[in-house]
Structure formats: structure tokens, C-alpha cells
Amino acid sequence: MRKSIMLGIPLGLALLTAASAFAQLAEKKVITLAAARKMVAAAEAEAERNHWAGVIAVVDDGGWPILVERMDNAAFTLSIELAPGKARTAALFKKPSQALEDSINHGRIALVTARDFIAMQGGLPIVVGGQVIGGIGASFDTPEHDVQVAQAGLAALKHDPP
């Protein structure tokens, strides 16, 4: 009996410590592949309605690709790098990629030295519950079309959060 009590006390303390540590962990929203597919489908539908072809990308909060789609006859071959880069930029800077372009255009020239970021319109952060959980990027024929397509993808998520 005494041995079981002696063994039980450390085990109980370990369980309490583990429970306390677990309580300190935060829950984090993430973009699922299903959510990324829904966003890309909505963005592609917007592009097709307007007879545009390009590339759409969704990344997680670390800027890593979840889904990249190149439509047939995409406007530019380089779009396959631009769309994910715009999405990554929006996710990591936690603001639309246009904000970087605007900063450069307003004299913050040093921003061009930020490696591997795309300072062009078309990347939007994905925000859920006040937290940036990723980004969506689009690269089509004009900056305005890029933003319009990315916004359509983002709107699809607003109706059904991940």
C-alpha cells in the first residue's frame, strides 16, 4: 500500500503538470486543403466569368503553398511564381501585397531589398478571428484583375470559415 501511494504521488504530480502545460497552449486556426480548394474554385469562377486566365495560390501562415492552380492559357508564364509569391507576401507581412508596392512608390526604396517577396498587387491576407492564417494570391493580366480574383477567393472563405 505504501509503495502504491509513493508511486501514485509522482504520477499525480506529472499529470497535473501536463494538464497545466496543455492549458497554456493556444488553439490555432489553419487553412485546410478543402478550404483552399473552395477559395481557388471561387477565384477561378470569377476569372472565367470575365474570360481571364492566370494563376491562383493559397498559402498557410508561414507562406508555404497549400494549393496553386495554373489555368489553361495563363496570361504570363511567370504567373506561376508571382501568385504564390504574392500570397506568401500577404501572409508574412499580414497585409495586402499592394501595401509593399505602395511603400516603394512613396519612397521606401529600401523595401526592394526584401528578398523573395512580391511587392505587387494581387496578394491578400486570410484573416479569421483577427488572426492571419494565410494568404491568397492571383496573377492575371492586370493588377486590378489580380485583386478582383483574389478578393473573390477570399469572399468564399468568409461564408464558410475553416
- The reply to whether the predicted model has a pTM over 0.95 is no
Residue 65: per-residue pLDDT = 98
Total structural domains in the chain? 1
Residue 20: per-residue pLDDT = 64
Spatial contact of 90 and 96, defined as CB atoms under 8 Å apart: yes
Does residue 44 lie in a domain region?
yes
Q: Residue 82, Cα to own-chain centre: how many angstroms?
A: 14
Does residue 5 lie in a domain region?
no
Does residue 19 lie in a domain region?
no
What kind and span of H or E run contains 95?
Answer: none
Provide the CATH number for the domain around residue 117: 3.30.450.150
C-alpha cell at 99: 501595401
Domain with 152, as residue range(s), is: 33-159
Residue 161: per-residue pLDDT = 44
Does residue 131 lie in a domain region?
yes
Residue 50: per-residue pLDDT = 98
Does residue 43 lie in a domain region?
yes
Q: What does the pLDDT profile of the chain (162 residues) look like in tens digits?
A: 555 555 556 655 555 565 666 667 878 899 999 999 999 999 999 999 999 999 999 999 999 999 999 999 998 999 999 999 999 999 999 999 999 999 999 999 998 888 889 999 999 999 998 999 999 999 999 999 999 999 999 999 885 444
Residue 30: other Cβ atoms inside 10 A: 12
C-alpha cell at 28: 490555432
Does residue 18 lie in a domain region?
no
Residues 6+ apart with CB under 8 A from 30: 60, 61, 133, 162
Does residue 102 lie in a domain region?
yes
Does residue 7 lie in a domain region?
no
Nearest to 44 by CA among 68, 20, 26, 62: 68
C-alpha cell at 24: 497554456
Helices and strands of the chain, counted as H and E runs: 5, 4
Residue 26: per-residue pLDDT = 78
